[in-house]
């Protein structure tokens, strides 16, 4: 549902200064949000992210626009499922500017990423979400995402990290 707004989703072009600025602006807004860690992007990240993403062959990104304003972002990376012997698409970041949430922008971004995953022959999409991000959990469930498990007796997968 887009509440009468025309949402335009476009592939993120890292060599376009307007797109790269929108990427950094939206990602910084997300990083400052409690669900993104509550801190701004570090200067090194702001200075190197665009070129480092551009050097990766597995990066997929889209921007959402309302009129000429970029209001949403999805960053994805292609991975590989050894169990299916096919690629998968991982949603690494999805961000909608705070003033534009509830307008269907996140759903539109997920739909575009799904279409890209299908075009690439991916077997599935994956993502991580904080357990107290109830709005995102509901949106992901509406989009068809479910907790990952191989066998209910073995339990659900738990996302873990170790900083290097």
Own/partner contacts of 46-52, CB < 8 Å, gap of 24 or more, are 49/23, 49/24, 50/14, 50/20, 50/23, 50/24
Give the domain range for residue 50.
7-154
59 within domain boundaries = yes
pLDDT for the residue numbered 159: 87
pLDDT for the residue numbered 4: 60
Structure tokens at 148: 């990952």
pLDDT for the residue numbered 3: 53
pLDDT digits (tens, 9 = 90+) for 28-78: 999 999 999 999 999 999 999 999 999 999 999 999 999 999 999 999 999
Number of domains in the chain: 1
98 within domain boundaries = yes
162 within domain boundaries = no
1 within domain boundaries = no
Helix (H) or strand (E) holding 8: strand 7-11
Question: pTM of the full predicted structure?
Answer: 0.93
109 within domain boundaries = yes
164 within domain boundaries = no
Phi then psi for residue 21, to 5 deg, are -65, -45
pLDDT digits (tens, 9 = 90+) for 77-115: 999 999 999 999 999 999 999 999 999 999 999 999 999
pLDDT digits (tens, 9 = 90+) for 101-156: 999 999 999 999 999 999 999 999 999 999 999 989 999 999 999 998 888 899 88
pLDDT for the residue numbered 149: 87
pLDDT for the residue numbered 21: 98
Q: Which CATH number fits the domain that encloses residue 27? A: 3.40.630.30
23 within domain boundaries = yes
Task: For 123-145, give the DSSP string.
Answer: S-EEE---TT-HHHHHHHHHTT-
pLDDT for the residue numbered 121: 98
19 within domain boundaries = yes
């Amino acid at each position: 549902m887009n509440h009468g707004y025309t949402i335009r989703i476009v592939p993120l072009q890292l060599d376009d200064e307007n797109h790269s600025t929108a990427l950094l602006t939206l990602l910084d807004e997300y990083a400052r949000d409690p669900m993104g860690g509550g801190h701004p992007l570090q200067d090194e990240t702001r200075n190197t992210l665009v070129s480092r993403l551009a050097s990766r062959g597995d990066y997929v990104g889209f921007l959402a626009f309302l009129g000429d304003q970029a209001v949403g972002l999805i960053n994805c990376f292609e991975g590989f499922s050894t169990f299916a012997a096919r690629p998968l698409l991982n949603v690494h970041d999805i961000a909608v500017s705070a003033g534009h949430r509830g307008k269907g922008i996140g759903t539109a971004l997920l739909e575009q990423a799904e279409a890209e995953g299908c075009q690439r022959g991916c077997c599935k999409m994956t993502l991580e979400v904080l357990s107290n991000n109830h709005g995102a959990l509901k949106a992901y469930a509406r989009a068809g995402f479910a907790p990952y498990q191989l066998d209910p007796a073995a339990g659900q997968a738990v996302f873990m990290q170790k900083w290097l």
